[in-house]
Structure 1
């Protein structure tokens, strides 16, 4: 079992203790929004389902963030918050794993640290979508931390090279050419959008919004004047076209330090065959 899977299992176990059940019952008796969720598992199921009122979900997530921030049975509500956002955080972990040469255990640690730091400091008064803010913010912070570490490694390598007495080059091997870690995820997505446009045409906005940015399908569909089911069908067809063109697409430096288009299409294969909007998971 991987460290990420082990984390998921441990979070699930955290909901089972007698202390956790007591904490949930106490909060539920004073929080009307929880009245429909007799057990914490029911709350998690609602938060992770593709269907459901996105505003209601955001209200529940905001409440969980507040409970964590004020320290109310913190470990239990931390577990609830993790599990309620697990589909999005799972995608963040898998994308980050593809972006780096770090071992999986280090990626787990980076995602967990960034998520918990963000939960501790987020100001909900300025947040429109809690789920999107926490998920995308976690990914952003992981990449920023990696960029900072990489910059420090390169700085140290330059300093050591200056002290090399024989003048034959740096005493520490230079890192592999840096590509995507130097750009934000949003910048990469916008550049990728431009390259996708000739391939997926009018469906490009849907692919970017639903697959890459993981935005709410109902809201995206409404903004484009189509039904959610139509939006999902168009995304599935677009992804199928991309998979069929995989061998014909030239390599570009998108979404991975080493992968380019190939990495994006591997992402499409693994993340959308089962996880495509409207698919089973």
Structure 2
């Protein structure tokens, strides 16, 4: 099947068919049998395209639309999505949560080494997933976030310099960013990972925005925090504080 790169990207989000198939081969752990297994009358490639089209959600996001396009029933489409999703989830569950120090060092762009040579850098931020307003008053208070302007679940997202992405568990939206990163186990997981990393025991340096207040909590677990400088309302930034804050903001903007 010859599909133009522009069409592949429009349907699935992948830049071309080669990248899509590379991803599929990775999550199938190199197994051609698993890659080509089907659960419908469609070909194995059509099933993967259907799954990614549904996941990407830019063209035929509704089951009704997928039924009309692929000429198969709703139950068959659900079976395809379930089977492909389970393959991907199983593969992801076997991967380490973070990239090792050696992997991060070798796969990151060389420009990062100007500022972060020898460091295990991870950019963290919180994001939201919208939800309906609960009818229970207590649950409504616990999920309402003034920052996001509604009822949400809040979760952590991160990226390392090599491009390795990850997410952390969802909490109720009313918790602060500081409380989330201190109590959700993120810092403890970093300590454990660094100690078990055979390539290096260099601790993590978490690059955060200035809304977090967790430097002491990170220090207690042997990790570090780097974030823009704070200044009281009656004080001005020094030149060093200004340059440091601008550099951190720029780096976060490039990654997050």
Tell me the TM-score normalised to structure 2 length: 0.29
In terms of fraction of residues, the more helix-rich structure is 1
Tell me the TM-score normalised to structure 1 length: 0.27
